[in-house]
Amino acid sequence: MRGRHERRLPRGAAAHRPRPAPGAGAPGDGARPGQNRRGGAGTAAARRYRSEGDLVRRVLVVGGGLAGTAAALELADAGVTVELAETRPRLGGAACSYRRGELTVDNGQHVFLRCCEAYRWFLERVRAADRVEIQPRLSIPVLGPRGVRGRLYRDRLPAPLHLARALSVYPHVPAGQRLAAARAVLAMRRLDPSDPEVDRRSFGEWLEARGQSVAAFEGLWELIGRATLNASAAQASLALAAQVFRTGLLSAAGASDLGYARVPLGDIHDRAAGEALREAGVRVLPRTRVRAVALDGEGVEAFYAGGSLRADAVVLAVPHDVAARLVPAAADADASRFARLGASPIVNVHLRYDRRVTDLPFAAGVGTPVEWVFDRTAAAGCGGQYLAVSLSAATRVVDWPVEEFRRVFPSAVAELFPAARRAWLVEFFVTRERSATFLGAPGTAALRPGPRTGSPRVFLAGAWTATGWPATMEGAVRSGRAAAEALLSGPPA
């Protein structure tokens, strides 16, 4: 049944095949440049699906974030008829943009690493790889009070030696503590992120056992961990921290090179993704909030205000608390388990000046309220300079009134960028995501489900599912592809 907000995306004559990403293997397949990468319609699961008679011909995807969009594209590429229901008027989930006066504002500052192969597949699949910038070599300016400036960078040496020179002169960890910090970095290689015992320990406890000082915590471990895990070291699972540090910093020299969008996120996750879905034949229904899902002998029925949608199967690509409410009891998904996943907030502080105050595209901060700051002037399409300060695991400040942010952050930014003292602050506002991600606390792995439920007609996707990754764009895309793969593979033998 069609809702009144339906946006019709006619099906093309054939499923669009994604172009290979230059020099990049598919997520998790270990492919190297020149090898075949895994395309959506060319997976073994898709071939097996087609050979077994297309038992599931119509699928409903609930949720138009990265997980839902990735699942819908994979399924459509395999020849499945797909409908996608999204509560909001646009795609992209939490990684989106909106208009505020003459500014185009990203809901949050999202970066990725060169090792994020699933997200890079997504960029290629929606033809938006030219809208992001990936550093040719990792280089992160790290700024502190009183003009102290350092840099985390890699050189030409192979991993893990590629970071040694940067750590040896890094000013935000005292000289006498840098060797201990380097040893702890190397010790991460011996951790197995899939080990339940590792997951049950906190990252902070593990660091303390290795003699990491307060300065090392603040100047190195929290700097990287807080931004990637959306949790403090004390809050975070050691397994998730190990996944980030092993994969991003220690697996290969280039794995940690930083990537970020040169355009508003909505240009990629909404407009480019919507066009890719249209070409693949996916019917998108914006402003369609699915309120309940029921199983019957013929498939699934999803109910929304004013109607319902029928399909052979459903992929619930929504936050974990919403999935816990929507998953049918008959699917035997143990929703009470993943409903216990916590949530962690992210706050962004936006400052627009009448002139440029820094030439840096981004920087991290140590010993300052400014955790990370990004120049979004070009992406926002404004004059002067527009800076966005990102605060992860922001439980302490998420309920601050705007006046408190205004009291703290203009002066903190001016401490890092003295030119801001001579600039006029044209605009100042704050955006908050109170449940931006699940909280990757110790023991979290036992609460994160895989894509399958007890029903062959109900599947789960989202960065909160068992991807092995923290709540990132990479994890979201991986989860959507995993759900599509599970559906196409049919019930387990």
- CA pair distance 250, 162, nearest whole angstrom: 9
Give pLDDT, residue 13. Answer: 32
Of 324, 417, 403, nearest to 368 by C-alpha is 417
Rounded CA separation 466/483 (Å): 11
- Residue 416: both structure tokens together: 């890092």
Taking the domain 343-438, which CATH number applies?
3.90.660.10
Beta strands 81-85 and 283-285, pairing class:
parallel
Beta strands in 354-485 (DSSP E): 362-365, 372-375, 385-391, 425-438, 458-461
Q: How far apart are CA 336 and CA 314, in angstroms?
A: 20
Q: What is the DSSP string of 25-71?
A: PPTTS---TTSPP--STTSHHHHHHHHTT-S--EEEEE--SHHHHHH
Element (H, E) at 347: strand 343-353
CATH code reported for the domain at 44-95+264-341+442-489: 3.50.50.60
How many CB atoms within 10 Å of residue 269?
Answer: 29
- Contacts (Cβ under 8 Å, ≥6 apart) of 447: 337, 338, 340, 341
Identify the pLDDT of residue 45: 57
The reported pLDDT for the residue numbered 57 is 93
- Ordered by start, the domain boundaries in the chain are 44-95+264-341+442-489, 139-256, 343-438
Cα separation of 73 and 215, whole Å?
Answer: 45
Separation of CA 27 from chain center: 15
pLDDT of residue 492: 79
Give residue 348's pLDDT: 98
- Cis ω on the peptide bond leading into residue 160 (within 30° of 0)? yes
First to last CA, the chain: 34
The residues, ordered by sequence, that sit 6+ positions from 414 with a Cβ below 8 Å of its Cβ are 420, 421
Residues 229-255: pLDDT tens digits? Answer: 999 999 999 999 999 999 999 999 999
pLDDT at residue 493, rounded to an integer: 65
Q: Which strands make up the sheet holding 307-311, listed edge to edge?
A: 290-296, 299-304, 307-311
User: What's the whole-model pTM score?
Assistant: 0.89
Residues of the chain predicted below pLDDT 50: 1-39, 41-42, 50-53
